[in-house]
Amino acid sequence: MTTVSSVTSTAATSTATQSKGALTSDFQTFLKMLTVQMQNQDPLNPIESSDYAVQLATFSGVEQQVQTNTLLQALAAQMGVAGMAEMAGWVGMEARVAAPARFDGAPVTLAPNPAVGADQAVLVTYDASGAEVTRQTIAASAETLDWAGTDANGAPLPAGNYSFRLESYNNGTLISTDTVEVYSRIVEAQGTGSGTMLVLEGGTTVAASDVTALREAG
């Protein structure tokens, strides 16, 4: 069975081989140019041997830099796979993150965080198109709450992705509007050039570094 690490190792080896081949080709071209330069130099004013040494040293330095960059890229790829393997244990758990949540009839757990000094908090719900669908006053505390997915009349909202913002007030004055974190089940971990990404139920993708808490799926 082919593993993720073996695939990455193979890809890194292939990249290094290609880079080595390219460098060999470039070096042969460089030698040809250097030979032509020597053949066509002015016999009355020949190029100093030290100048040739400088050119060879410059090419050697570039060659070493390219090889170093190739090794660093391969190392970064392997580290990315290691991080993704670690995050694979998160699949199936619920992540708390500031992202849209999938509603399919079951309550969605929210983690509002009112601004300091707020004496009133209003939860505003938006559908996938960004349209406001409900707003309701909630306790001005950081306690989690279960959003039932109903409109102002108590009728169930259609299944889909919903996002939430919290308006914090003090003495009737709006002092802050913040995205509300939600708990969503992780369905997949993906390794990318930007780091490990997590796919949440409903298709939303977030960076693993954006997750602020984890819990067992209920």
pLDDT at 56: 67
Q: Is the pLDDT of residue 123 over 50?
A: yes
Contacts 24+ apart (CB under 8 A), 186-190: 186/90, 186/91, 186/92, 186/93, 186/94, 186/95, 187/91, 188/91, 189/84, 189/87, 189/88, 189/90, 189/91, 190/84
Q: Is the pLDDT of residue 83 over 50?
A: yes
Q: Is the pLDDT of residue 63 over 70?
A: no
pLDDT at 9: 44
Q: State the average pLDDT over residues 195-201.
A: 88
Q: What is the rounded CA–CA span in Å between residue 137 and residue 145?
A: 12
Whether the model clears a pTM of 0.85, i.e. scores above it, the answer is: no
Residues 9-55: pLDDT tens digits?
444 444 445 555 555 566 677 677 767 776 777 676 776 666 666 76
Residues 129-173: pLDDT tens digits?
999 999 999 999 989 999 999 998 899 999 999 999 999 999 999
